[in-house]
Chains A and B, each alone.
Chain A
Amino acid sequence: MRRATRLAIVFLVACTVCGSANAESYDDPAARTRLTEFENGLRVLTLVDRTSPIVSFQSWVDVGSGDEGRFTGLAHLFEHMMFRGTENVPGDLRDRLLRERGSRGNAFTSNDFTVYFEDVSAEHLPLVIELEADRLANLIISPEVLDTERQVVLEERRFRTEDNPQGRLVEALLALSFVAHPYRRPTVGWMSDVEQVQVEQCVEFFDEYYVPGNIVVSIAGDFDEEATLGLLRRHLGRLPAAPKPARNPTLEPPQQGERRAQAHASVRGPLLGAAWHAPASGHADAEPLDLLSAILSAGFSSRLNRRLVYEEQEALYAYGGYWELKRAGLFYAAAGVRPGHSIERVEALIYEEIARLANEPPTPAELDRAKRQLEVALVSGLGTNHALASRNAEELLTFGRIRSLDERLQAFAAVTAEDVSRVARTYLTPEGRSVVHVVPAPEETP
């Protein structure tokens, strides 16, 4: 017996009337986004935009390295396995079929999400949908393929981290900043874990996290919305419902003093990274922190570039920013020290600039400039179907809804200069920071 599929259709973003006098009101394509929830819990976001004859199809799985248990790197290794064939579509057939149709696809894993995408001409969307349903239902995880893919991931890790000074900096800074929270783990995983993970753990991982209620499909571009929803319902709506996965409970305890570390690498120009704990996504201080980021880092005239790169000529680049994740956040500052210059001096200059903002609010002109920069960045981010589909899915998974552009601009407009100083004072404290220097080993002078 087949039960009628219940569709929950909600128009997500109501066009809000822009109340602010100085912000422009934009036609936000997200306002036309439609959310459909299938009975098995899978959610679909559709946004029809006929500007160009292509479609971005994305599957966002609500699992990242921050959800891993015993084996680090599992979310990412599993992402690789999703490309290695099913009973119906074995080996690299899936990839060949899609490439033959000019599709451009890939996937990535972050601390919070695993994302698969295909950008393709509209007429090939049905194939993309059927292939997605097939691999979610019939994936093969064989020990032989897992062994090959593990070697690939180990090479990826050597490339991104072991032999990459920037990668070492990020890995060390996360491990130093988070002592408890799973965000301390590198997304690519530790070598030993990737070397030892087995089919059994992959299958468990798939069964727990790759369930309809934990997946959002987001489609944007030129396609027939009704027909596509019908196809999705038939192919993805049939996946069996399963309980929502449990999450790691650990929260980061307050930091009780500055932490410092060195990572050695054969570099002429040392690298500096500093990080402070900041709120997770959805906090009221997010907008002041974004504006603080822009004042420090956006554009040639931003404070860090101006002071460290342009005026004092101590760094090749210097920037800072608010990095918000679902369950914790960081504010970071990073700089590439000029060869032959002092990393201690660069570090001191960054703290000086932060202290200046903490003690004295930015000028009205500076604040307006930062607001305008964020406005243009938001609007520029609507320029491709891929970007639209990504934004919709990420907003839904992070905030439970899609925040409209006007809402975001009004939130920025409401931030005062004192708010910017306040968040600098509140979060960017000397005792709350973690600092990593990537420098040559003492005996080595490259």
Chain B
Amino acid sequence: MNLARLLLAFGLVGILGGCALGGPPAWEQEAPPIRTGPVVDETRLHRGELSNGLTLLVFEDARLPLVTAGLTFRRGAGIESRDEAGVAGFMAELLTRGAGERTALELAEVVDSLGATLEAGAGWDTTSVQVAGLSRDLDSLFGLLGDAVLRPRFEASEAEKVRGELLAALEKARDEPRELARRAFAKALYPDHRYGLPQSGTPEVVAALGPDDAAAFHRRVFTPGNAILFAAGSAGYAEIEERAEAVFGAWEAGPIPEPAPAPPALAPAERRIVVVDRPDLGQAQIVIGHEGIGRTDPERLAAGLMVRVLGSSGFTSRLMGRVRAQEGLTYSIYAYLSMRRHPGPFGVSTFTRVAEVGRVVEIVLEELARMRDEPMTDAELDAVRRLSAGGFVLGLETSADVTGALVDLAAYGLPPDSLDTFRSRVSEIDLEQVTEAARRVLHPDRAAVVVVGPAEVLRPQLEPHGPVEVIQP
């Protein structure tokens, strides 16, 4: 056998081997069409309402003998005035520091002895209290939930402790360059609105908070008509309804607080460049952006897809491709829309070695302009629709995921079937809609540029983009 025949023979083996593997490699095959249709198993989902207006939402999941239950109220830190910034979080923290017949430590010992968790917290638009533990402890868990929601003690000694903790945490947060960047960015966008202050409040306000402030916020927000009671896990609807009725049935209805006024439409109205001076840093934190859109904005899906292509689709986003994969200027860069009741920020967040800050800012502003001025390609749109629709079920794997998403819809008054329709709505977004969303949402000409790092080195790099304000951390 000569060499050519030998090679041919091997080649044939290779080809036959290839055939045996079932045709061309999977990566040469077209992606199947986007799957649409319902994602929430209706047979496991139950909704109801108590006579006092409390909404019930129960998703059964027998996979594990666990249950999570809680209440979400449709108001949070967003309704605080700037003079009250921090009271929602302060109140929420105090809910677990003594309730019903138990002091803070007694309550904690009961929770811990069940291996359970009892948590409360305030976001911009909601305040939530939640318990989680073994489903065989359902009665005890509901008892703890009822105490925290209906019978918090708001004792002066606990208020003093919590105040001290929050103040120390606010102070400590200033050690984190990323947190400094976030704060300076919010302040640059919303100098006179609540959104311009940290969600957890300001030291000036928190230092003056007392138990009466917590009790007043509690009265204002914690009413049954303003709440959604949710449960997820190994418990049937009847079991939950019975306990909800027993614990929350006699709770008296009250008025629902008004939402807060919206921030200015343009934030900022013109370019601002702010450097938070940290001479010790070798790597600068950068946030670039301006106002975004609200949670119920009719164009949120198109805007969301556009932002994904820009900087929120993992390694395939334009920003990640250029700043990380091509130029090695960062480890992480992403774009986001903070969708709240009113438009929260749109931002691009990243970091780089201080010598490269000017370059990174330039690239980000260029990419914002490119997304705004040149339409996305069909291929980009197709890919991001697939990413968004295809990955959707991954975020709904557990019953707690499904319940969380349904509660969020209810909190913002969005259609209750939004999860089931999401994939078909996404697959219908067209090029015109994303192009329009880019024009409407992105404003590189007036974007705020906030950098945390050594001002002396950063100033000359940033001055080409506008006047630079330097502030202390």
Contact = CB atoms under 8 A, between A and B. Distances in A.
Nearest to A383: B398
Interface stretch (B45-53, B286-294, B311-319, B431-439): B311-319
Interface stretch (A64-72, A119-127, A195-203, A251-259): A119-127
A94 B25 CA distance: 13
Interface string A300-319: 11100010011001001000
Contact of A372 (B35, B113, B283, B382): B113
Nearest to A230: B22
B27 A131 contact: yes
Interface in B4-35: 20-21, 25-27, 29, 31-32, 35
Contacts of B114: 372
Contacts of B177: 163
B417 interface: no
A332 interface: no
Interface string B377-390: 00000110011111
Contacts of B389: 102
B261 interface: no
Contacts of B307: none
Contact of A101 (B113, B330, B386): B386
B315 A92 contact: yes
Contact of B390 (A103, A300, A369): A103
A63 to B, nearest CB: 22
Interface in A146-161: 147-156, 158-159
A316 B165 contact: yes
Given A127-B26, A130-B27, A159 B283 contact: yes
A244 interface: no
A152 B330 contact: yes
Contacts of B65: 24, 26, 379
B383 A268 contact: no
Nearest to A96: B316
Interface stretch (B166-174, B212-220, B245-253): B166-174
A302 B117 CA distance: 13
A248 to B, nearest CB: 28
Given A127-B26, A131-B27, A102 B394 contact: yes
Interface in B112-143: 112-116, 133-134, 136
Contact of A54 (B175, B351, B394): B394
A376 interface: yes
Interface string B58-95: 00010111100000000000000000000000000000
A178 B66 CA distance: 40
B278 interface: yes
Interface residues of A, number: 84
Contacts of A100: 31, 382-383, 386-387, 390
A299 B27 contact: no
Nearest to A338: B168
A269 B398 contact: no
A336 to B, nearest CB: 7
A374 B171 CA distance: 33
Interface string A266-285: 11110000000000000000
B391 A384 contact: no
Contacts of A159: 283, 331-332, 351
A446 B326 CA distance: 37
Contact of B383 (A51, A96, A306): A96
A97 B65 CA distance: 37
A421 B42 CA distance: 51
A408 interface: no
Interface of A: 24, 26, 51-54, 83, 88-89, 92-97, 99-105, 119-121, 123-124, 126-127, 129-131, 134, 147-156, 158-159, 162-163, 165, 234-235, 265-269, 298-302, 306, 309-310, 313, 316, 336, 338-339, 365, 368-369, 372-377, 379-380, 382-385, 446
25 contacts: A52-B396, A54-B393, A95-B316, A96-B383, A100-B383, A104-B394, A119-B394, A121-B390, A121-B394, A134-B27, A148-B325, A152-B330, A163-B177, A163-B281, A267-B175, A298-B112, A300-B104, A300-B111, A313-B161, A338-B172, A373-B112, A377-B115, A379-B64, A379-B65, A383-B398
Given A99-B314, A105-B314, 17 more contacts: A95-B316, A99-B313, A99-B316, A99-B383, A102-B390, A121-B390, A150-B328, A151-B329, A152-B331, A159-B283, A159-B332, A162-B282, A235-B21, A265-B175, A300-B112, A316-B168, A385-B397
